[in-house]
Amino acid sequence: MPRPERRVDPADGPLARFALGLRELRHHAGSPGYRELARRAHYSATTLAQAARGAGLPSLAVTLAYVAACGGDVAEWERRWRATAAELSPPRVPEPDGQAAREGPAPYVGLAAYGPQDAYWFRGRDRLVAALLDRVERQRFVAVVGASGSGKSSVLRAGLVPAVSADRDRWSALVLTPGARPLEECAVRLGVRTGVAAGQLVGGFREEPGAFGLAVRQLMATRPDGAELVLVVDQFEEVFTLCADARERSGFITALLDAAYDPECRLRVVVGVRSDFYTHCARHTRLAEALQDAQVLVGPMSTDELTDAITAPAARAGLMVEKTLVQTVLHDAADRPGALPFVSHALWETWRRRHGSGLFLAGYQSAGGVSGAVAQTADRLYQDLDERHRRTVREVLLRLTALGEGTEDTRRRVSRAELLDSPDRDAVVEVLDRLTAARLVTRDATTVEIAHEALIAGWPLLRDWLAEDREAIRAHRRLTEASAEWESHGRDESLLYRGARLGTWLDRSPARLNDAERAFLAAGRAVSEREERLRRRRVRLAVGGLGSAVTLVTVLAVVALMMAGRADRERALAIGRQLAADARAQLAVDPELGLLLAREAYAATPNEETEGVLRQATTQSHIRAVLPENRDSLGRPAAVTGVAFSADGEHLATTTAGGLLQVFGWTGATVGRTPERVVRNGYWIQSPVFGPDNRHIAFTGVTDGATVVDWTRGGEPPRPSAGKEVTLSAAYSADGRWVASGGQYGTVWIRPALGESSPRVLRGHDGAVAAVAFSPDGTRLVSASAEDGTIRVWNLVAPGRPLVLLGPETQVAAVAFSPDGRRLATVDVQGTVRTWNFADMTTSAVLGSHDGPAYHVAYSADGQSILSTGADGTVRIWNAGRHAAPVMLRGHDGPVLAAAFSRDGGIVVSAGADGTTRIWQVNEADDVTVLRGPESPVWSTAMSSDHRRLAVGDRTGAVRLWDLTGRAAPTVLPGSGQPVTQVVYSPDGRRIAVADDDGRVLVWNLSGHTGRPRSPHRLSGPPTARVAFSPDGTRLAAIGFNDSVSIWEIPANGHPPHSTSSPMAGEQGSLMDVVWSPDGRHVAASSDTNTVLLWDFRNPDRVEKLRGHQSAVWGLAFNRDGTRLASGGNDGTVRIWAVGDTAAPVVLRGHQPGEGTMTFSSDGSHLATTGSDTSVRISRVDGRGDPLVVAGFQAAVREIAPAGNDRFLTVHADGSVRTWRCPACGPISEVLATARGHLTRDLTPEERRTHLPGGGAVPPQVIRRGG
């Protein structure tokens, strides 16, 4: 849970008053947590928390999102924001002559790097530039290494290049960035200098390794003897992020090194590379050797250097910088990794707000300061646009970003043509003009790129876009590259997409594609259709050519045997890669086909890649069984129109369009393959529903009202007569006495379930009644008509006019009461899924929607889940109480007409228009146990080390100790009345510490094996945010509101805890979490200044600062032996640090930005992580391969912890606690067995022809491996 907010004093000024107002607004809204606000506002929890902190004025967009999420008056708060901004800005000082000062050049460049033309303004790096120049004079190859935002590019371009260019007789400089084709970039740059065509040069560079050196020698031949070329390769990491051709990458690196170390070339090479790509460089043997003693590290500026960088450019522009502004910038930038572009942009915005001849603190604060200026500039630009241009901003910036693989996301330089080759070219042109004017992007005559990665790290909205569907963005990047390669090779048909790769794009919206990508896909479709026609022709001709084919195959077989070993291995590898790619593409479309292909991929090539796909496909497989297909008298599939479980959970009923009512035996999770009873009606029937006695079933069809049959006796129901009204829906009352049904002409009947007495008729609908439902207590009946667009609530106890909801714009197709009768769920023909609260039926909550009409809706027995079905072929499982991504069940070939939950809610059975009845497991995780508090939602949990007890803290402050063995009732620890923010067991299970939202910490002693509590002790001193027990349980590390770590001794004799040492201070900013290493040597704390602090008890006065996160760091976890520390940031990344090692951390990503927690596997090889989404990601700690994603929890995962026996414990945003087992984390033999158990079919002949080489033929050794 997040730490409590520090207090603000309204007397401290307008910022404090503004922050206090936001806090009061949140309080009046019920004090929702910042995670909940983040879900409503679509900004990260950290961004919203900082808005109410009072350290700076949040951007207008963030403020309005915060206010809207709290239900405040947006217009009023916009006025308050503008008034506060005006109050922070002093009145403009008039110029002496009464005229505005001339604009003049800006002394700061904003996000962009300083270039040679900006050398006059570039200050603060004199010592580093001198050291770099000295190194260049002594060495032929130099690498300038630094973190993103450390100023590498500015040092190279505005420092080194002007320095060497000053001595024209000795040096000349050439600057390039590698881009996607680094050899081509070299050819272009050298071609301009030598007068040789770039096309001629690049061909030589690729064919002959020494050609690059010869071109340099040709260039230098016209220079004085002794003169040398300094080739500066800025953003060298682009050879890994943008260059997809491994041969091009290797050729470029080799060419640089060969030429640099060839004295005849008279070349010196200086590369600038981000430090998080250092390990990528080390994978190239020669490059690793060259880097050994050739590095110049770009670290943070000293206080004096940063002061010079702030004040000297202003002085050169004739401006004065207020002293308090300098001090504030120094404070805000202190110990912040990658701060320089944020500082430069904040100063540029401050310069734009200058008054007279001075830069003042008020202008800086109005701009948003170091932490908020980038976001405020981007937000302002975005908010000023209409919806069309906002979409364009999103698409442009996504194209300009390269997703990191174990590293930070980076900027991607693209050609103008890629952006302007768009159906909405005018919007792109205007957006680029605005982004350039705001200095968020830079462009030249041919290319466009983001000004600096600081925009990616510093604008929450862009981070959210990048986190929404990273796999879709990667697929789009692959499409962009494939279409470009296709164009560059004269539209060679062999480069077009085919099979699954093409298929994945057929159902996607083309709105985000440019014209080249659309043409590429259109050509792929045309070629695939042509090849399919040719394939069919070849089949017809195959018999005639069989004799020749046999002869040819025999000859080829002899040749193949001569090269069998190598060829088979290469072919198996290629087959495995293609099948793995096809499997991943199918997982979002047809998960069972994806699993079939993944199994084939692993059979072909059992390696890391195919194993990862197999594990993911096994996890995502929900299907468990398919009942035999129903067919009509002509042999065509007959739609299954309804499905229902009996009240005792022992039988399953289905109805069909052919008039069959079938009843199957059900044993918890399996169904009989043949029905126990078949009742034939002869006409279309639907909407089966069991009576409470489990014997009678009501269904609808061509009859006035529902038909009720005793299925245990068999026989046929009465045949309908002519002129009867078609009934569309039926419902049983809870006591089994009544059956309601709705007719096609607006009639609602309520008749006795048994007997022949006259029905009660309700009239009022102006059109067919699509759905009816009794309330659980039988006092109300709800009916809905898709034709008149109304929902009517009939009071059956006190008859009168019904309550009428909605209007003709909403066409409701189905309704369902919650088990407690307090809520109503509906779906409509627009596909929308809604819930209504009977306490206020004037408004509804939208859970989400289908891609097309929705047909059916139902609650689970516990009321926590809602299922819906639709024309899009899916069943969707929604969290009934909050908006969250639904569980998607895919597999029907056509609309899903109905579905039903099993009694425990773990199984769903669906009825499809394709004639099949499918049985699904709802959860991706296995063996799921769900625990819920009796009254208040769970806020924090802790499990004892023996995994027998679970401590659960809630919003009331109470903590319940649950005995997971089931032998004892929960023990309740009384609370303070404030929400519990943390619960933690001591390692020996004898103590438990409880922290609340007011900063109180109580330490309870638990006596004996029963765990019954004694009176607690409270930690004295300042309020405490988080605590952690030492491995031996005798000490407690606590982080307080004073942002230091204190160590408390916990006496064994039951005496109160006492502090044993002075607080260990960290740095400016709030500490967020604290953990103790298992060996007891280290304490780590995380900070909202993007830093992890690590103390070694052998030297507690020294703190090691681990930097790299681009936002606040929330969660921490050590592995079992304390050699690795994982940290989770609000930037959506998790970093794994080697304790005591200076190597760059492994970076894991994929979660949506937000507060997350993590836990290592028992053997330390994997890390399970959470974010602000509904998934758990299980990744290798070395960062290799794709993570295994376990999703489908229906609510965001807040916390994760080990639960013993290869199980996990997770806490969710809906207040529930789950324990579960990972379905695909075990040995691969178990995963293969699980995969076999999940499959209900084999590949069809058509699927084999499409996906398998040779239509399904695989090498002999591949078949043996498949086992």
Give domain limits for the chain. Answer: 1-88, 125-299, 624-923, 937-1166
Query: What pairing do the DSSP bridges indicate for beta strands 1158-1160 and 769-774?
Result: unpaired
Q: Are strands 267-274 and 228-233 parallel, antiparallel or unpaired?
A: parallel
Q: Give pLDDT, residue 417.
A: 85
Single-letter amino acid code for the residue at 560: A
Q: What residues does 297 pair with on adjacent strands?
A: 145
Fold entry, domain 937-1166: Methylamine Dehydrogenase; Chain H (2.130.10)
Residue 559 is predicted with a pLDDT of 46
- Report the distance separating Cα 738 and Cα 440, nearest Å: 67
Continuous H helices in 358-410: 361-367, 369-383, 387-399
Report the SS3 class of residue 868: strand
Q: How far apart are the first and last CA of the chain?
A: 48
**pLDDT of 724:** 61
Radius of gyration over every alpha carbon of the chain, rounded to an integer in angstroms: 34
- In contact, 1130 and 1154? CB cutoff 8 Å: yes
- Using CB atoms within 10 Å of the CB of residue 649, give its burial: 0 to 12 exposed, 13 to 18 middle, 19+ buried: middle
What DSSP element (H or E) covers 1013?
A: strand 1012-1013
- Three-class SS state of 149: coil
Residue 336 backbone dihedrals phi, psi, to 5 degrees: -95, 115
User: Do 624-923 and 937-1166 come out as alike in CATH topology?
Assistant: yes
Query: Is it true that domain 1-88 has CATH number 1.10.20?
Result: no
Residue 247, C-beta contacts closer than 8 angstroms, at least 6 positions apart: none
One-letter amino acid for residue 308 of the chain: D
Contact 1037, 1057 (CB under 8 A): no
What pLDDT score was predicted for residue 1083? 92
Q: In what order do the strands lie in the sheet with 780-785?
A: 769-774, 780-785, 790-795, 803-805
> Is 911 within 8 Å of 867 (Cβ atoms)?
no
Stated length of the chain: 1267
409, 402 contact by CB (below 8 A): yes
Residue type, 687: S
Sign of the CA dihedral with 55 first, then 59, 60, and 62 last = negative
From residue 1053, how far is each of 39, 1005, 1036, 1049, 1081 by CA, in Å? 46, 10, 16, 12, 25
Cα angle value 322/324/325 (rounded, 5°): 65
The string of DSSP codes covering 22-81 is HHHHHHHTT---HHHHHHHHSS-HHHHHHHTTSSSPPPHHHHHHHHHHTT--HHHHHHHH
The closest alpha carbon to 889, from 1217, 614, 624, 1176, belongs to 624
Q: Identify the segments of the chain with pLDDT beneath 50.
A: 1-2, 90-102, 542-544, 546-552, 555, 558-559, 562, 720-723, 808, 1009-1011, 1257-1267
Residue 452: φ, ψ to 5° = -165, 155
Q: Of 457, 444, 485, nearest to 175 (Cα)?
A: 444
Nearest CA to 981 out of 1023, 935, 1032 is that of: 1023
Look at the block and give the residue holding tokens 């591949």.
1262
List of long-range contacts for 736-740, beta carbons under 8 Å, 24+ apart? 736/691, 736/692, 736/693, 736/696, 738/774, 738/778, 739/698, 739/705, 739/706, 739/708, 740/706, 740/772, 740/773, 740/774, 740/781, 740/783
Q: Indicate if the alpha-carbon torsion angle 28, 30, 34, 39 is positive or negative.
A: negative
Q: Would you state the pLDDT for residue 1263?
A: 32
* C-alpha 1240 chain-centroid distance: 31
pLDDT score of 483: 86
Report which secondary-structure segment, H or E, holds 1266.
helix 1260-1266
Task: State how far the Cα of 45 lies from the Cα of 32, in Å rounded to an integer.
Answer: 11
CATH fold group of domain 125-299? Rossmann fold (3.40.50)
CATH number for the domain running over 624-923: 2.130.10.10
Q: Please tell me the predicted confidence (pLDDT) of residue 1099.
A: 80
Q: CA-to-CA distance for 168 and 180, rounded, in angstroms?
A: 32
Q: For CA atoms 645, 646, 650, 656, give the dihedral sign.
A: negative
